[in-house]
């Protein structure tokens, strides 16, 4: 299956520190096991809509790339609303989600995968 990933200069758009990934054509990526995985969009249209919602079209270096997935995607109910490394660490490792802090619903049309092959 083909999914769509929004990247900024071939890196994660928002994730910081050790959660910021690089994406190059042909790379096979494996997510950290304690995370939901890589956030991708089911359709290119959903990725474009999200970019419009966050005002990303006005910023340079953003693009939508294709990724091949082989597993069934996860549709998380909530995600971290903050993206600095320390915030993500708290979300994933300290289970901040259970306290109802720093969370939001994921963008429409997203799924998460633990393995990706970058096609573009």
Query: Does residue 101 belong to any structural domain of this protein?
Result: no
Structurally, the chain folds into a number of domains equal to 1
Query: Does residue 53 belong to any structural domain of this protein?
Result: yes
Query: Does residue 91 belong to any structural domain of this protein?
Result: no
3-class SS at 26?
Answer: coil
What's residue 94's pLDDT?
61
Q: How confident is the model at residue 111 (pLDDT cuts 50, 70, 90)?
A: very high
Query: Does residue 82 belong to any structural domain of this protein?
Result: no
More confident residue, 96 or 63: 63
What are the DSSP calls for 30-78, one per residue? E--TTS--EEEESSHHHHHHHHHHTTGGGSTTEEEEEEE--SPPB--S-
Asked whether residue 91 carries a pLDDT value surpassing 80, the answer given is no
Query: Does residue 20 belong to any structural domain of this protein?
Result: yes
Query: Does residue 87 belong to any structural domain of this protein?
Result: no
pLDDT mean over 6-12 = 91
Q: How confident is the model at residue 81 (pLDDT cuts 50, 70, 90)?
A: low
pLDDT mean over 88-107 = 65
Query: Does residue 58 belong to any structural domain of this protein?
Result: yes
pLDDT mean over 47-62 = 78
- The whole-model pTM stands at 0.84
Range of the domain at 30: 2-73+108-118
Q: How far apart are CA 94 and CA 117, in angstroms?
A: 30
């Amino acid at each position: 299956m083909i999914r769509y990933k929004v990247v900024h200069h071939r890196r994660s758009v928002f994730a910081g520190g050790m959660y910021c990934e690089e994406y190059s054509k042909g790379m096979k990526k494996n997510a950290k096991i304690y995370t939901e995985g890589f956030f991708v969009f089911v359709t290119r249209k959903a990725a474009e809509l999200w970019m419009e919602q966050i005002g990303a079209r006005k910023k340079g270096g953003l693009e939508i790339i294709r990724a091949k997935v082989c597993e069934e995607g996860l549709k998380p109910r909530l995600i971290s609303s903050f993206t600095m490394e320390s915030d993500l660490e708290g979300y994933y490792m300290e289970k901040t989600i259970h306290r109802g802090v720093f969370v939001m619903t994921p963008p429409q049309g997203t799924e998460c995968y633990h393995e990706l092959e970058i096609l573009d």
